Amino acid sequence: MTDPVALRARMYGEDDLSSIPVFGGGFINFGFWRDIPLTGELTEQDRVRSQLDLYRQVYAGVGPADRVVEVGSGLGVGAAWAVEELGPVSITGVDLNPAQVRRARAQRDDRLEFVVGAAEALPLPEASADVVLSLEAAQHIDDLRGFAISAHRVLRPGGRFVVSTFFVPDASTVGQVAQRLETFASGVDREHPLPLFLDDLAFAGFTDVTATSIGAHVWPGLDRWIAQLGFAEDTWPRHWLTCYQDGLLDYYVVTARA
């Protein structure tokens, strides 16, 4: 069996996942499609907008006084948008993949910094951030409790923590998603049960923990885009939607206070 860590490294390194047609514009996320009509032909502009709209969900509330850390910052295009649109003091992007960090450093703004580091051991000082957020990266993190502890250490008291990605709603179904989706079967993605992650946040010292499902605005649009790219209904990329419909997987925005 191929090592999942090596697979992730190749996906985001030499294979450059952002370059495949499923994604677009340098973003690597499933998108938030609420305000995009799904009745006609989707354009690449629609796809890019969906991904940017997901950033808007996660970066909501970030303002000019904030020092932000984005975990799993990828090519840095979301962080570059955020410094222009929202004007925080700074955004530090942390990514485990050195190739991604090198690419992200092409984003030129004195408020942006990109560093190599693991979510479970963020290479940043204690209480140095007002907001720690992560957009569609937590599904790759093996140790979510370690991530929660590390994020809590980096945040100032009262600071905000925001994570968006897909979780398993019910721990009793773990194993079923891997039977339908190749990224889970290979170990690239992890079937993290949402209740366990919420427990991890409480263990780390977070309060005001909330989880909001946004799956209704993610999965149908993503499936429509994948179908338009030519993937038949019986191919595994079309099973994201059926996993959601069968209650095996959903997309959440999780928030908490340090």
Query: Mean per-residue pLDDT for 122-126?
Result: 98
State mean pLDDT over 44-72: 96
Residue 39, pLDDT above cutoff 80: yes
> Residue 8: what pLDDT?
75
Per the prediction, the chain carries an average pLDDT of 94
Mean pLDDT for 108-129 is: 96
pLDDT of residue 108: 85
Q: Give phi and psi for 230, each to the nearest 5.
A: 110, 10
Say whether 258 sits in a helix, a strand or coil.
Answer: coil
Give the separation between CA 237 and CA 182, rounded to whole angstroms.
8
pLDDT of residue 22: 79
| Cβ contact 147:71 at 8 Å | yes
* Residue spans of alpha helices (H) in 22-129: 44-58, 77-85, 98-104
Q: Write the DSSP symbol of residue 245.
A: H
What are the Cα distances from residue 191, in Å, to 53, 108, 212? 25, 36, 18
Q: What φ, ψ does residue 251 adopt, rounded to 5°?
A: -110, 130
160-169 mean pLDDT: 98
DSSP 92: E
| For residue 14, pLDDT beyond 80 | no
CATH superfamily of 4-257: Vaccinia Virus protein VP39 (3.40.50.150)
Dump pLDDT digits (tens) for 213-254: 999 999 999 999 999 999 999 999 999 999 999 999 999 999
Contact 208, 227 (CB under 8 A): no
What is the reported pTM? 0.94
What is the domain partition of the chain in residue ranges? 4-257
Q: What pLDDT is recorded for position 107?
A: 87
